[in-house]
Structure 1
Amino acid sequence: MIRVLIYLVIILAGACLSPLFAGKTGYVYIAFLDWQLETNLLFAVMALIIFFALLQLLEWLLVTVLNLVLSSRYLPRRWRRNAARKYTLTGALALAEEDWPAAEKAMQKGAEAGELPALNYLAAARAAQRQFKNEERDDYLNKAALLPLATQAVTTTRVRYYMQQGELEKAREQLDKLQPSSKSKAPVLQLALELYQSQLDWQALKLLLPALRKKQILDNEEYELLNQRVNNALLAQAALRSEQELEKCWHWLSRQERSQQANMAQYALGLVGFNRRDEALKLLNKALKKEPCASVLEVLPKIFEAQDSETLKLLKNLEPKLENHADYQHCMAQIHELCREFSLARAAWERLCHLLPRKEYWLALARLQEQLADHQGAFNSYKQAAKSD
C-alpha cells in the first residue's frame, strides 16, 4: 500500500513538472551486449512507472492465489475448531444450568478438536460424576491424563470423586501419588485434611499440620483445636498398643504440647492402663495446682480413689474459682460419690443440673436421691429428666 502511494506521488509530480520540460524531452541510451535501446527521457520514466505498477499487481495476484489455496486446504480443520468452540460454549452453559446430560455430550464433542481438550474432558467427567456414570467418568479422566500438564489435575479430581462416593481406599491411593506437603497447592492439602480425618489417620494428619498452617488452610483457632484432637487421638491409639508406644508418642510431642493439660490428661489415662496410677495422679495434681481444663476434670474421676486426700484437697481449693463451672461440679459430684460423701455429691449434682440441665445429669441426681431416701426429690428429678429429653 505504501509503495502504491509512492508511485502515485511520483506520477503526480511528473504531471506537475511535465509542462516545465515541454520541448525538452531528453535522451536515453541503454546498451547491453548486442542489445541497444534509444528513447526520450519522458517515455523511459513512464515505462518504468508502468513496469513497477504491473510488478505490484502481479505480487498482489500471487499472494491472493496462495491465500486462497492455503485457506481451502485447512478449511475443514477450521470448521472443526469452530464447531468445537461452539460445543464447549454450549457445554459450559449446560454446566452452569446443571443440565448434566447435555453438558457431558457437548463437552465430549468439544474435546475432539478443541483448543484445550483437557478442560473439556474434566468438565465431561464432572457431568458424568453427577449422573453416577462411573465408567464414562473414568474414561474421560483417562483421556485427560494423557494430555500435557493435566496429570495432577486429573489425580486431584479422582481423589475428590472417590471421596464423594465413599471409596476412601481408592481416594487414598490417588492422594499418595500427589504426596501432600508444604509445596502442594491448597486444594490438595484440603483434600488430604478431609481424607485423613475420614480415615482417622492421625499420624499422617500430624505430619500434615505444619503444611496446613503454612498455607493458611486453617486459622489459628482451628489449627490449635485440630492439633489438640490429633495429639489426643495419637496418645489414645498408642495406649491401646503398648506401654513403649505410649512413651514414644508422648516424647514425640513438643515440650509445649506436653505441657498442655488436655495432652497430660490423655497421657495420664494411658498410664493407668499400665498400672502407673500414682504417676498419672501426680501428673494431674500438677495441673490442679493451676486452673485445670475440662479434660483434666473429666479424666480425674476415672483415676481417683478414696484415699487420694491430696488430690481432693486440691480440688476443694478450686471451689471459689470454679463453683459456677459445670465441668468442675460434674467432677466433684463423682469424686464425692467415690468418697461416699453423698450429701456433698447431691449438692454438686444439684448445682450441675442448675448450670447445665441435661437429661443424664438429672437421672444421676435422681438415682442418688433415691439412695438417700429422698423420694419426692427423686420424683422431681425424673420429671425434669423427662422434660429434658
Structure 2
Amino acid sequence: MKRALIVFVLVMVLGAAALSAIQADSGYVLIALGNTSIEMSFWLAALLLFGALGVIWLIGRLVHGSVSATRRASERLFSGTSARAQRRTASGLVDFIEGNWKQAQRKLLRAAAKSGTPLINYLAAARSAYELGDRTTALELLHKAEQSSPNSELAVALTQARMQLMSRRYEQCLATLERVKRKAPQHPVVLDLLRQVYVSLQDWEALKALLPSLRAYGSQSEEELDALASQLYCALLEQAGQRARTQNPDQAAEQLHKAWHEVPGPLRKQPAVAGLYARQLLDNRLHSEAEAVVQKTLHKHWDPELVRLYGLIPAADPGQQLITAEGWLKKRPGDATLMLTLGRLSLRNQLWGKAREYFQSSLQLHKYPETCAELARLLAHLGEHKKSTEYYQQGLLLTTDALPELPQPKEAGH
C-alpha cells in the first residue's frame, strides 16, 4: 500500500515535469526523403519511436512463443510426453526381458530423450542391438549411455564386459574388468565376471589370487565357492604334474610337494583331490608317496575310486600292500571294487589262484567291464582260452548298449 502510494506520487511528479517541458519548448524533428519532408514536434516523434519499439517487441514475443509452442508440439508428436516415455520404457523393458530384441531396442530408443532414466534405456538398447548381432550399434549406444548420466562408467563397463564374455572375447573382457576393478575392487558383479573370465582362460593363478575377494565380497554361496576352490586346486595340481614330467625325479618331487602344500587343509582331505594328487605322483614314478597318500585318505574317507587306484600302484612291498587291502576286506566284505583291487594285488604277488577267486567274487557282486577283462587275461595265460574268450565277450557287451534280437548263423558243429 505504501509502495503503491510512493510510485503514484513519482508518476505524478514526472508527468508534471514532462508536461512543463513540453509547454516550455516542444522542439521539432524534420525528416526529409527526396522531395518529401515531414516535420513534427520532438515529443510526438519520441512517442512514435517508443510506440514502434513496443510493437517490434510485441511481435518478437509472439514469434518466440509460436516457435516454442511448435517445438513443444513437435516433441509431443515424435517423442511424446514424459509419462508416455515412461510407459514406452516399461514396455521396452518387458520386451527386453522376454527376448524381443528388435521391439525392445526401438521402444527404448524412442523413449530415451524423455525418460527419467536414459541410462537404463541406452544400456538395454545396447544389449538388444548386441543380441541382434549389430555390435557397432551396441558400442555407439554404450557411448550414449555413458554421456547420458554422470557416474555411469561402472554400469556401462559391466554391460560391455557381459557382451564381451558372451561373445567369448575373453582378453577384451578381462581388459574391461581390470580397468573398472581399480575403481570398484569390491563390487560383487565385477568379481563374479572376473571369476568367469579366469575359468574360461584357465588362468588358475589369477583365480587363486581372486578367491579371497570372492569369499569376502562375492555373491556366491559357500558351497559354490568350495566347489570353485576344488576345481582351482585340482587344475593347479595337474599343471604341477605336467611341469614335473619335464624335470628330473628330485625336481619333480619338489614341484609336486609345493603344489600339494599350497592346497588348503580341508581340500587335501577330499578323496577327489587326494586321488588327483596321487595320480600325478604315479605319473612321475613317485610310487611310495602315492601309496601313502591313498592309504591316509582311505583311512578317513572310504572312496571307491581311491580303492581302485590303490590296486594300480606298483608298491615297493607288494606283499604288505596286499595285507593292507585284505585288512579292509574284513570291514567291507561285499565291496566289488575292493575285490577287483585285491585280485590285481594278488597278480602283483603272483598268486594266480587267489587272483582268480577275487575277480570271480567281484563279478558276482557287480559286473565291471575291467574285471571281466582282468579275469579273461588271467585265464588266457592259464591256458583256458574258451573261458577267457567268454569273459572278453561279456566285458565287451557291458561297454555297449543291449544288442537287438537279430537272426544269426548256426554255430559250428550244430
Report the alpha carbon displacement of residue 234 of structure 1 after superposing the two structures with TM.
Answer: 1.2
**Aligned equivalents of 2:159 and 2:130: distance in 1?**
11
Correspondence for 2:187: 184
Correspondence for 1:375: 386
Contact map agreement 1:362 1:381 (CA 8 A) in 2: yes
- Structure 2: where are the runs of 5+ without partners? 1-8, 13-60, 245-251, 401-414
Rate the CA distance shift 1:337–1:174 in 2: closer, same or farther, 3 A. Answer: farther
Alignment of structure 1 residues 1-389 onto 2, 5 Å: 72=69, 75=72, 79=76, 80=79, 82=81, 84-85=85-86, 87-146=88-147, 147-179=149-181, 183-185=186-188, 187-214=189-216, 217-242=219-244, 243=252, 244-272=254-282, 276-294=286-304, 296-305=306-315, 307-353=317-363, 357-372=367-382, 373=384, 375-376=386-387, 378-379=389-390, 382-383=393-394, 385-386=396-397, 388-389=399-400
Report the alpha carbon displacement of residue 69 of structure 1 after superposing the two structures with TM.
Answer: 6.9
Report the alpha carbon displacement of residue 193 of structure 1 after superposing the two structures with TM.
Answer: 3.5
**Aligned equivalents of 1:267 and 1:230: distance in 2?**
13
Report the alpha carbon displacement of residue 101 of structure 1 after superposing the two structures with TM.
Answer: 1.5
Correspondence for 1:12: none
**Aligned equivalents of 1:265 and 1:338: distance in 2?**
21
Rate the CA distance shift 1:383–1:239 in 2: closer, same or farther, 3 A. Answer: closer
For each residue in 1:49-108, what CA deviation from the matched residue of structure 2 results, as whole angstroms up to 9, or x when unmatched? Answer: xxxxxxxxxxxxxxxx9xx97995983697346264354244234335532222222222
Aligned AA (1:382): Q
Aligned AA (2:159): T
**Aligned equivalents of 1:274 and 1:368: distance in 2?**
28
Contact map agreement 1:306 1:338 (CA 8 A) in 2: no
Q: Secondary structure at the match of 1:303?
A: coil
Rate the CA distance shift 1:114–1:272 in 2: closer, same or farther, 3 A. Answer: same
For each residue in 1:4-38, what CA deviation from the matched residue of structure 2 results, as whole angstroms up to 9, or x when unmatched? Answer: xxxxxxxxxxxxxxxxxxxxxxxxxxxx9xx9xxx
Rate the CA distance shift 1:190–1:292 in 2: closer, same or farther, 3 A. Answer: same
**Aligned equivalents of 2:218 and 2:323: distance in 1?**
44
**Aligned equivalents of 2:141 and 2:113: distance in 1?**
12
**Aligned equivalents of 1:128 and 1:85: distance in 2?**
21
Q: For the aligned residues, what is the CA RMSD? A: 3.9
- 233-242 or 275-284: bigger deviation: 275-284
- Structure 1: where are the runs of 5+ without partners? 1-31, 36-64
For each residue in 1:156-190, what CA deviation from the matched residue of structure 2 results, as whole angstroms up to 9, or x when unmatched? Answer: 223322232233333333333344998222x4444
For each residue in 1:200-252, what CA deviation from the matched residue of structure 2 results, as whole angstroms up to 9, or x when unmatched? Answer: 23323333444444457554444444333322221221122243443332232
Report the alpha carbon displacement of residue 119 of structure 1 after superposing the two structures with TM.
Answer: 0.9
- 228-237 or 209-218: bigger deviation: 209-218
Correspondence for 2:45: none
Contact map agreement 2:287 2:315 (CA 8 A) in 1: no
Contact map agreement 1:182 1:212 (CA 8 A) in 2: no
Report the alpha carbon displacement of residue 319 of structure 1 after superposing the two structures with TM.
Answer: 1.0
**Aligned equivalents of 2:354 and 2:143: distance in 1?**
70
- Equivalent pairs counted in the alignment come to 325
**Aligned equivalents of 2:360 and 2:181: distance in 1?**
54
- 307-316 or 274-283: bigger deviation: 274-283
Correspondence for 2:57: none
**Aligned equivalents of 1:78 and 1:156: distance in 2?**
32
Contact map agreement 2:186 2:217 (CA 8 A) in 1: no
Identity rate, percent: 25
**Aligned equivalents of 2:164 and 2:372: distance in 1?**
45
Rate the CA distance shift 1:216–1:165 in 2: closer, same or farther, 3 A. Answer: closer
Aligned AA (2:322): L
**Aligned equivalents of 1:276 and 1:388: distance in 2?**
32
Correspondence for 2:58: none
